[in-house]
Structure 1
Amino acid sequence: MRRLTPIIPITRGPARATLLAAALAVAGLTGCTSLAPTYQRPAAPVPALLPVPAQAAASAALTLPEQAQVPLAWADFVRDERLRGLVRQALAANRDLRVAALGVQRAQAQLGLADADRWPTVNAAFNTSRAPNTQGVQTTGFQLGLQVSAWELDFFGRLRSLSDAAQAQWLSSEAGRRSSELALVAAVISADRSLAADLAVLALAERTRASRADSLRLTQLRFDGGAASQLERQTAASLAAQADAALAQARRQVALDRNALALLLGGTVPAEAVPGSASASGAVAVAEPLAPVPTGLDSAVLLRRPDVLQAEQALIAANANIGAARAAYFPRISLTGSAGLVSGDLGNLLGGGTFAWSIASQAVAAIFDHGRNRANVEVSTLNRDIAVAQYEKAVQSAFRDSADALAGLATWRSQLDAQQQQLAAVREIARLTDLRYRNGAASELERLDAERSLFAAEQAVIQVQLAEQLNRVALWKALGG
């Protein structure tokens, strides 16, 4: 009759408590040792303070280095309720963000698998066998009970290190999901601002085309009457064709912007969500849709960025894998056992069966593996060193992003002010030139040239306004949202 091999020995009488206590003691001792190196966060390879330009200090909301900067949530950064609706739609339906969220769930499930390996798997089993006994008589045996096979006792922390690595990978994937969410919100805001700017350019192109079509019609009438030269007529025709080309370009760009925004939203752009239109609630878009970004002086604020956290958790996982590789040098100890009822008669198994248990252990250690364990430790160590470099690069990239955005914090505003002053001057020049033309003191060419300059100045203001808003979005994203 075949014997069962239990992992947890259970018997009748006083010995049962002793055996159970021994099993619990073994379970408590497993995983108490870790051969992984003690993790220490690498020093940030960037200056301690962010490079806030002197001209930006007066206009930026600054905090002292010792003060912790509170992240600016996207709902506080975005003031326009219409734009908030677009962000909410993107967060709910964007496929890239959905993939990132599913990746977090997968990493969490993998962590569950790694944790499960640290504990015994108990199976309910019913076995039957027929074999000769010691007298050579064929006998039949039936067994019903619990079985545990090859439970590894983690005395050297191999399974614990693998579990720690899986946990770090889970946290890394969660940080990656937050990084994807931050990038998505920034992309939606940027796409909306680009669409708003291109809609303004389209409206300007439509007005300019109508104006130049009227100018061409009037110049053609004057030319037919002998009051305008061929040069004036060709100049008016050239400007009208230029306006037609600018209008076609503006329409194409608006269509491209809508397509890009629709991809981010995961669906079509609602008509009421187009910049410049009334929202579904009837609220009109605010004049300043984006709030100022509070700028801290301490570069340690960059360590909370999701992409930096993701790189750090990947480093922690690589550090834990070194412990698992080192543990392979030591014996791998496992227990196998079972406990249950045994009987030679199936009918009497439950009523008259005998309670029995058995336990077996195994210790396996590598004597010659042609350097496999040493190579695994070396590979794990190199992976950790690579992760250190990647973490440092992530910090440096975050510092660069912040420095670039801070450099434009005041300069874009100054450029916009100068561009608006130029527009006001060009607009006045166009008005005065038109007045002189009507009084016969200026030629048609002078008037058309003034209109061309006005169109270019109006376009420049729109583009600089867009650049200033995109730089504000970049600063919000660079500081971690």
Structure 2
Amino acid sequence: MLRRSLIFLVLLSAGCVSLDPHYSTPESPIPATLPGAQGQGKAISHDWQQVIHDPRLQQVVTIALNSNRDVQKAIADIDSARALYGQTNASLFPTVNAALSSTRSRSLANGTGTTAEADGTVSSYTLDLFGRNQSLSRAAQETWLASEFTAQNTRLTLIAEISTAWLTLAADNSNLALAKETMTSAENSLKIIQRQQQIGTAAATDVSEAMSVYQQARASVASYQTQVMQDKNALNLLAGTTLAENLLPGTLESLPEQMISLVPAGVSSDVLLRRPDIQEAEHNLKSANADIGAARANFFPTISLTASAGVGSDALSSLFSHGMQIWSFAPSVTLPLFTGGSNLAQLRYAEAQKRGLIATYEKTVQSAFKDVANALARRTTLEEQLDAQRQYVKAEQQTVDVGLRRYQAGVGDYLTVLTAQRSLWSAQQELLALQLTDFTNRITLWQSLGGGMSSLK
């Protein structure tokens, strides 16, 4: 009888109404096409292994995905949300307890007597006629799913950040090497000018200018040495452990241009909707929608049932052989007549939360569009800038060479040479900055398009 009753209760609850508002995904408040995108259709989803081709950086990313503390916390948050969903979902089912009791008593007339009872009890099961428990269960499930996408977004951000940090270290290695090269050249020039001053063929101002260039380069070497150490510290923090030296990059120039693939962006803005941060925002919105259903259900009566069925006997030894059946059924109805405005306030709170999360969802979509638009806008002129900067460096190098030859021939002044050397150094630093921007822009574009979803789970 108890088993049939349990099945009946579960089936009765399964057919209850839902008071959740009708849900529909908010319209995207962005243009239908991405600005500056080329090609047809949607962007191709690339896993990070298909975008990053340097084996050292691939290994660094793998280490980070396993050891980074932000990722570990995100995984723990998933487990927490999943457990909370399981706890909330359990309210949809009856609670069954087993009890065995024995009573021993002595009668003055008849001597000693013993009674025994075994019960199976359904403790205070609430019929979910108005879908409150189901709404709460749906809300918890959506929160769990949101945490899954939070973790995916954490991984996506980590891959982009650690790749950028690795490339930044390579760029600063190049800047350090350039500063050392400039310092060595400036030191040699200073020694030559000092000897020329001693024999009267160079002015004191030439020595001062040469000393200025040398000390500037020397200060830059010290600065970039500090920067390189700080880059390594930042990289180790992102990786969650101290990386081996053989996993660190050399100079930026030593990296092939195609070590970071350029992901095609396509033309449709719909591609943005697969970004984990947008999917996280939508699941949070769905959770808030279910919370409204639960808040609405608070206005309706609550029907609770307590039932038990079992057997009883006057002897413990014969309890399960020829005991008599015992059962009880105790329904109760609670009608919210006066709650001091609590139920109404809870409903208004849930509705306000949903409105706020709609705004959050729309802003997340807008931010995603801005990220892609900015990355594409930078991509449009980057190659032209790189080509122009390379030509500029060549021209500055020629200016330095000509100035040195004129000075050595006695027809030019050393100030012209020093000015040209400073311009060359600045042009070389700008070229390194643009090369770093080229690599990081590829990473940013991949990240802003949502990355490879299958590799982020």
TM-score where L is the length of structure 2: 0.93
- The match for 2:33 is 49
Q: How far has the Cα of 1:346 moved from its partner? A: 3.1
- The match for 2:388 is 418
Asked if 1 retains the 8 angstrom alpha-carbon contact of 2:303 and 2:332, the reply is: yes
Q: How far has the Cα of 1:287 moved from its partner? A: 4.0
Q: How far has the Cα of 1:438 moved from its partner? A: 2.4
Matches within 5 A, 1:139-178: 141-178=115-152
Q: Deviations over 1:202-256 (max 9, x none)?
A: 0000111111111111111111222211101111111111011111111111111
- The match for 2:161 is 187
Structure 1 residue 30 and structure 2 residue 4: aligned?
A: no
Q: How far has the Cα of 1:29 moved from its partner? A: 2.4
**Most deviating of 353-362 and 152-161:** 353-362
In structure 2, what residue type is equivalent to 1:240?
Y
Asked if 2 retains the 8 angstrom alpha-carbon contact of 1:31 and 1:159, the reply is: no
Aligned length: 445
Matches within 5 A, 1:251-262: 251-262=225-236
Q: How far has the Cα of 1:436 moved from its partner? A: 2.0
What is the distance in 2 between the residues matched to 1:444 and 1:246?
A: 22
- The match for 1:82 is 56
- The match for 2:454 is none
Asked if 2 retains the 8 angstrom alpha-carbon contact of 1:335 and 1:361, the reply is: yes
- The match for 1:429 is 399
Q: Deviations over 1:161-194 (max 9, x none)?
A: 0110011001100010000000000001110111
1:309 corresponds, among 259, 272, 279, to: 279
Q: Which runs of 5+ in 1 are unaligned?
A: 1-8, 11-18, 278-283
What is the distance in 1 between the residues matched to 2:230 and 2:422?
A: 26
Matches within 5 A, 1:341-380: 341-380=311-350
**Most deviating of 344-353 and 180-189:** 344-353
- The match for 1:394 is 364
Structure 1 residue 124 and structure 2 residue 106: aligned?
A: no
In structure 1, what residue type is equivalent to 2:232?
R
Q: Secondary structure at the match of 1:51?
A: coil
Structure 1 residues 176, 301: closer, same or farther in 2, change over 3 A? same
What is the distance in 2 between the residues matched to 1:265 and 1:160?
A: 41
What is the distance in 1 between the residues matched to 2:105 and 2:135?
A: 44
Q: Deviations over 1:446-471 (max 9, x none)?
A: 22222111111111100111122222
Q: How far has the Cα of 1:115 moved from its partner? A: 1.1
**Most deviating of 67-76 and 371-380:** 67-76
What is the distance in 2 between the residues matched to 1:155 and 1:138?
A: 49
Q: How far has the Cα of 1:131 moved from its partner? A: 9.7
Structure 1 residues 323, 31: closer, same or farther in 2, change over 3 A? farther
Structure 1 residue 406 and structure 2 residue 376: aligned?
A: yes
Structure 1 residues 271, 166: closer, same or farther in 2, change over 3 A? same
Structure 1 residue 94 and structure 2 residue 64: aligned?
A: no
Asked if 2 retains the 8 angstrom alpha-carbon contact of 1:321 and 1:380, the reply is: yes
Q: How far has the Cα of 1:407 moved from its partner? A: 0.8
1:291 corresponds, among 261, 268, 275, to: 261
Q: Which runs of 5+ in 2 are unaligned?
A: 452-457
Asked if 1 retains the 8 angstrom alpha-carbon contact of 2:43 and 2:267, the reply is: no
Q: How far has the Cα of 1:409 moved from its partner? A: 0.9
Structure 1 residue 468 and structure 2 residue 438: aligned?
A: yes
| Greater helix content | 2
- The match for 2:289 is 319
Q: Deviations over 1:233-287 (max 9, x none)?
A: 111111111011111111111111111111000111211111128xxxxxx8544
- The match for 2:172 is 198
Asked if 2 retains the 8 angstrom alpha-carbon contact of 1:79 and 1:286, the reply is: no
Q: Secondary structure at the match of 2:94?
A: coil
